[in-house]
Structure 1
């Protein structure tokens, strides 16, 4: 067989197998026998082995898994993957409906259409398709940055790698859930039991563990399935959609698996009824559900409603009753957090809830302890709220025998002994330089997403605070080599590296500096919003609550917290000291950089972590992409480059080395 004949046959087999995968896994309507399918697959494997130059990452043969990875790369989501607000009662869902109408300015009697969808107990995945081909699959991570698990997701049999339609969208950004069916979960655990391996606690953990296997062949053995439910972005496609229900139908038309449990409900009462219907047959379903999701169906309404920093205002998860168990509260301890808030924590007799051993549960506030009448020694119902976070639901008062003791919040901080003050529903250490608060603030300040001062481990921070060397975060910039070498386990080399990292951190971005300050409720995403809106520190210091609330994504809590932070004299003094030690914002250098606006993709092994080069490029105004396309400006190649190199060569993309990139940055 000539190369041309082989290429023609390989393409023909791939097209046929993609089509038959779609018929079998999505439509559940195969038109050939398993034996015929297997024969085509074997022929394709043989040809691909003989003619490796026709490699395609989206070939149907990747369903059996490729070569193992060394580690997972990080992927920045183009659109944040927000979490959903939870509701556990009919009243909460009715209130959500009222809130939606109030926000939209609609009459209380108006009927809102909701796309009601099952809430799967799996692992959320972000998928990117370009010109009908899967290019990137990533985990949710922290909502802003996830892990690149493309190689593993390609092994999922019901997920199309190439869309089975003519003229697919140029660009698709999708969200779906990776699931493991109950029978498959049981089979895997039985095998692990025979092999003496630890058992998975539940199907969700097994699915998450399967997706995060470094060897895709292991993932392929797990028979994962995927359900798509959200078109996050679509470009270059003729068909217009204006509702979530239409988007779900479009997903199916494009060849994606969607749930047959989706339903369009007219009004909140119909949605609540459907939740009860699904809950009744929860145990008969082949996979785990932990509730339903209500989404306002109309996209124009969704746009008006917008998002908070954590969740969309147009959707809510209506959870099924969480799994519960009874146990005893042995004691109640108090934790001191980064902002000085004291949080009571129940120390429990260990109990297994839904496959997870629970020995601690947050009691949140003293108000909640009093409201639920919780005492040390009580027998209590404990649940994993939302099947995740353990919480004490209620006390079994009939089992009280007189040995129970009331809990009282301490008058003095358990860390520094300073007076504890009541702050609304919370109790807070009055000492803004409380060692625990300071230690946690420093950990946050030096972290990668903040000032990125590499090398400050917990032990070093503990010593710096305990010895009185660092009394607020600005003191980090007064440290010298000799002081650091006087700490336990800090030699000359580590001390030099720390001083270099401290010096390098002085040039940062305004957004990272805001995040580093540790303002309560201000995470990385909100810090970026504040930096974009106010441009400089002086504007941000003077920002009013009204100005802050104008930002989409900033609510009352955040606005109050920002205003409060910049009204504190101590905080303003710390900021002034940080600036006096040379901290400056390099955002303006982007305009002068030769790479400003240019796009880059990295492949292969580089001399430093990829995140280092990503931050370097972005600091100079460049853009880091996840995949190669004809619009890409540069592919930076390290040792042992992957398939991106071949793709870049075909697309005519500029290919440069790591050193050439550094030369460009210096120029």
Structure 2
């Protein structure tokens, strides 16, 4: 599970990054699934809240050059019916049961009797770009992306140029907001890709990617010819306009005014069973549609109920999303490729006889780890069952043993690194390359060091890292800070201005502080939280280095500080085995040399000092954050607690003073109740912070 968690974390960070750059590779729904699975694994592994990713499904950060606009009514994501959901006994809950419970909760919210009529509206969930359109007296005056749900980017110019939505709608004299989805019809997308291929240019991965990229183009010329269009589905507010009383009525009303809606694809049904039957039936039609869909949306039909039902900080209570189950196909396992990660972990990847799966050709898939291969008895030559986790990450999920050929070969664990041929080291389920100069390891470490969540070195992407390694001889992170404008300008696709920007970013990165440096060096077991704890406790690298040397040499007094027998040490959550690994690596000749290079380059190796004003009731207290808070992200709440003099921990213990619990708080809430720790909500935390 830990390996799958790490793989998902990497995928989520990657897809967040390219989404913000306007070139997403997966649907929002697929990202939702990845985040849901990540949360499930993190809960099972009891990953501290502060060490978890804080990903917002479908969220898009502001793009430079676009004006931000605050939504009058937040554009929240929908709650989902998911096969990963567990009941109170920890068993998988059928989708039918989840939907029935959701409908019954809505009846209860509306103070309706059990079984009372509650019509449900069902429509396809088109895989495109969410958009908010403001019409005044029938004229389009503004178009805004969903953004983070609270604020989005103004794309009025792009939408008008693309003629993706009506510039005018007939009828209303007041103002209204209409929401919908921008999408690229499959036929028009294929035609565009054919032209790119004919011209020898790189093609676009899928219509959703292309639509996102096109609609964030700053130069709008030519957008009118690509064929992006829209499907409108909601009117969240209106002034001076009388709206129909039902969701289906609103769509008919929009259609009569010339707005693009799909009345023939929607249904109003009377119960959960009928809804699921229609969802399943519609799923069989996915391949016949002109657009991609990744599920269905189920809404309360009567609009008068919406205000009473309300919303959480993340999703409204008047709707829920049904996700189509992943497609699974059998294909032949041709071989296994081994990849080496930043810590030296060697991961097996399946090479497959290409197969069409969920709209793309799949030739490679994750095998997770060698323990998983042995458990499933996967062999080269087998016919394996492949599906996409979240409709995007191909993975081998099972073997069709009835079709196993006589010459199928077992997959053996490697004895040497596939890149540098160094003998491997096996730790539990991990197979690692210990060679710090392994070319694959060097490349992955430098990519990690420059990453947004580490040293955030703008412009130092994967292709440039390859060049500074191959052409400039860079091998360790400290050597990055020695790069000059002249050196970088000599590389392919690097003009002087681009080189100057990279050097400027490197200079800025020098001041990020000790915690960021520790997190960036890919030290095993040192994530963002542990790096902050180490930096906070030791204050400077010099003190950390001296302590690591004492610890690695077996100094009992040093060991007692952080890993005493039978109790918690000075750094909460740092167990003896983990401490052994961390301090041995910090004291290693390789890392000592890198730190010496960082010192020589002028990199700040002291803990960054944050503005702090102690608040009575917060200062000196330890807080644990769990679940989804109504308005704050967990890292925001944590920063506020720290700024008020408090401490944030990832695990509940007798030392914990308060557990701040949000929606769907898990095992930490139960642990707090067992230990008698005070449990508060976000509102109480904010009251305490206000003093």
Measured against the shorter chain, the TM-score band is 0.5 to 0.7
The 8 Å contact of residues 138 and 149 in structure 1, kept in 2 or not, is answered as yes
Residues 276-333 of structure 1, C-alpha deviations (whole Å, 9 max, x = no match): 5534544443333343222222346555665566554543433445444434396799
State the partner residue of 1:270: 274
Task: Tell me the number of residue pairs that the alignment of Structure 1 and Structure 2 aligns.
Answer: 457
Q: Does 1:461 align with 2:519?
A: yes
Instruction: Tell me whether 105-114 or 485-494 shows the greater mean CA deviation.
Output: 485-494
Contact 1:380 1:392 in 2 (8 A): yes
**What's the counterpart of residue 359 of structure 1?**
364
Is the 1:453–1:502 Cα contact (8 Å) retained in structure 2?
no
The alpha-carbon deviation at position 196 of structure 1 amounts to 0.8
User: What's the offset of the Cα at 1:188?
Assistant: 0.7
Q: Would the alpha carbon gap of residues 532 and 163 (structure 1) be closer, same or farther in structure 2, given more than 3 Å must change?
A: farther
Q: Is the 8 A contact 1:101 1:107 kept in 2?
A: no
Are the aligned partners of 2:625 and 2:659 in contact in 1 as well (CA < 8 Å)? Answer: no
Cα 1:414–1:288 change in 2 (3 A) is closer
In the alignment, structure 2 segments of 5+ residues that lack a partner are 1-62, 85-92, 414-425, 434-444, 458-508, 546-591, 649-655, 678-686
Aligned-pair Cα RMSD in Å: 5.9
Q: Report the counterpart of residue 127 of structure 2 in structure 1.
A: 121
1:473 to 499, 520, 532: 532
Question: 2:603 aligns to what?
Answer: 495
Q: 1:148 to 1:108 in 2, by over 3 A?
A: same
TM-score (norm 2): 0.51
Counterpart CA distance in 2 for 1:364 and 1:311 is 36
Q: Which moved more, 1:309-318 or 1:109-118?
A: 309-318
C-alpha separation in 1, matches of 2:212 and 2:169: 25
How far apart in 2 are the matches of 1:198 and 1:505? 48
Structure 1 distance, partners of 2:639, 2:611, is 21
How far off its partner does 1:93 sit? 3.8
TM-score of the two chains, using structure 1 as the length reference: 0.52
Corresponding residue for 1:100? 103
2-structure distance, mates of 1:254, 1:566:
61
The partner residue of 1:205 within 190, 204, 209 is: 209
Task: Give me the whole-angstrom Cα distance separating, in 2, the residues matched to 1:126 and 1:506.
Answer: 39
Give the gaps of 5 or more residues in structure 1: 1-68, 338-342, 418-435, 569-584, 590-667
Q: 1:507 to 1:536 in 2, by over 3 A?
A: closer
In structure 1, the partner of 2:402 is 398
| SS of equivalent to 1:349 | strand
Q: Distance in 1 between matches of 2:603 and 2:267?
A: 61
Q: After TM superposition, give the deviation of residue 195 of structure 1 in Å.
A: 0.7
2:292 to 279, 288, 300: 288
The answer to whether the 8 Å contact 1:100/1:313 transfers is no
The residue aligned with 2:555 is: none
Residue 149 of structure 1 and its aligned partner are, at CA, apart by: 3.2
Which residue of 1 is the match for residue 6 of structure 2? none
Contact 2:349 2:367 in 1 (8 A): no
- Match of residue 348 from structure 1: 350
Cα separation, partners in 2 of 1:109 and 1:153, compared to 1, 3 Å: same
- The Cα of 1:223 is off from its aligned counterpart by 1.4
1:31-46 alignment, distance < 5 Å: none
Change (3 A) 1:242 1:445: farther
| Residue 168 of structure 1: aligned partner | 174
Q: Which residue of 2 aligns with 1:150?
A: 156
Q: How does 1:93-492 map to 2 (within 5 A)?
A: 93=96, 95-102=98-105, 104-105=107-108, 109-129=115-135, 134=140, 136-141=142-147, 143=149, 146-169=152-175, 172=177, 174-231=178-235, 233-239=236-242, 242-252=245-255, 256-260=259-263, 261-299=265-303, 311-312=315-316, 314-320=318-324, 322-327=326-331, 328=333, 347-349=349-351, 351=354, 353=357, 354-355=359-360, 357=362, 359-361=364-366, 373=376, 375=378, 377=380, 379-400=383-404, 403-404=409-410, 412=428, 414=430, 455=512, 461-463=519-521, 472-476=531-535, 478-479=539-540, 487=595, 490=598
Compared with structure 1, are the counterparts of its residues 208 and 464 closer, same or farther at alpha carbon in structure 2 (3 Å cutoff)?
closer
Separation of aligned partners in 1, 2:341 and 2:624: 15
Partner-residue secondary structure (3-state), 2:634: helix
Task: Give me the whole-angstrom Cα distance separating, in 1, the residues matched to 2:675 and 2:510.
Answer: 24
Any idea what SS the aligned residue of 2:227 has?
coil
- 1:464 & 1:249 partners in 2: Cα distance? 56
Aligned residue for 2:499? Answer: none
Q: Deviations over 1:550-573 (max 9, x none)?
A: xxxx123386399599999xxxxx
> In 1, Cα distance between the equivalents of 2:671 and 2:137?
43
